[in-house]
Amino acid sequence: MRRLYPPIEPYDHGMLEAGDGQAVYWETSGNPNGKPAVFLHGGPGGGTMPLNRRFFDPGRYRIVLLDQRGCGRSTPHIADGADLSVNTTAHLIADIEALREKLGIDQWLVFGGSWGSTLSLAYAQRYPERVTELVLRGIFLLRRKEIDWYYNGSAGCVYPDEWEKFLAPIPEAERDGDLVAAYHRLLSSADPEIVGAAALAWTTWETTTSSLRPDPARVAQTSDTRFALAFAKIENHYFRHGGFLDEAQLLRDIGVITHIPAVIVQGRHDIVCPAVSAWDLHRAWPGSRLHIVDDAAHSATEPGIIHRLVEATDTFAAVEHHG
């Protein structure tokens, strides 16, 4: 079983002035002359963490992390009133491409899980010539049925106790409607107590249902008010707008990237992003390699998921790069 590489610190970091008053935090670690790889975090709104560097061999990779607009160390932060109107999938794709150019990278491996898999596919379909390989985990294609499954009741059949907590902030009269829209109203309230309670309930629903076994430390970590505000508000903003993508767009346009080597890693018991999406993606992309991990759910830190992700980056590290 492969494990995460040991902790490392960045050798460089900075802020990318992205326009619209946005500054995007970035960092590089590992080998400055190694194969470039960019890590795209989930959420949207989740931000990066030091653990994300550890999916890559630091001796063979130039590891690039960035915090997407409005979250993590990027500014302005949602908790400080960042403007969501300039936070869309197209904006994030433009930020990734601007960072690639800033760092002088010609091509790079793109790694993303959950929302990061969505953004990885969207970026690759926009700039296929810039992507050497794709490593994708917990596939989220942002189709309406995926949003409805997780936020409009179906997943609550698996976690009825946690679903009850998710419903708690919503007035009873609104609980049979579109709960993403109901949460939007709560998260847009002028009352900071209502906003804070809604943000915490939204975020806790995801963190408590992400692991096959309970992970109290992760739930506690994401219960921080500042984190929860960014996570809930940005996710809700994207999901209300279908990720700013056409329905099933990522499958429709898959032909643009089928020549790119790809590994898909999916937990069989993933409630957040059910395995059918990974299956649909793999069926549309016959050249991809799909690993369904039988003893895992959604989290990237479950042992079987780590094994397959590190196995993929180790394999691709040996492929020639052009920096």
Is residue 294 among the annotated active site residues?
no
C-alpha dihedral sign at 275, 97, 231, 148: negative
Residues 6+ apart with CB under 8 A from 119: 40, 44, 68, 89, 92, 93, 96, 112
Is residue 114 among the annotated active site residues?
yes
DSSP type of residue 75: B
Q: What angle do CA 299, 231, 78 make, to 5 degrees?
A: 155
Q: What are phi and psi of 76, to 5 degrees?
A: -70, 150
User: Which residues are 113's β-sheet partners?
Assistant: 137
Position of tokens 């959420």?
43
E strand or H helix at 64: strand 61-66
Choice among 57, 210, 270, 282 that is catalytic: 270
Is residue 270 among the annotated active site residues?
yes
Choice among 29, 41, 67, 114 that is catalytic: 114
Q: Which pairs count as long-range contacts for 203-208, CB under 8 Å and 24+ apart, including other chains?
A: 203/227, 203/228, 203/231, 203/232, 204/162, 204/165, 204/166, 204/228, 205/162, 205/163, 205/165, 205/166, 206/231, 206/272, 208/159, 208/162
Nearest residue to 37 (alpha-carbon basis) of 89, 112, 149, 125? 112
Q: How many CB atoms lie within 10 A of CB 80?
A: 11
Choice among 41, 237, 291, 298 that is catalytic: 298
Q: Cα–Cα distance between 255 and 257 in angstroms, integer?
A: 5
Catalytic residue positions, numbered: 114, 270, 298
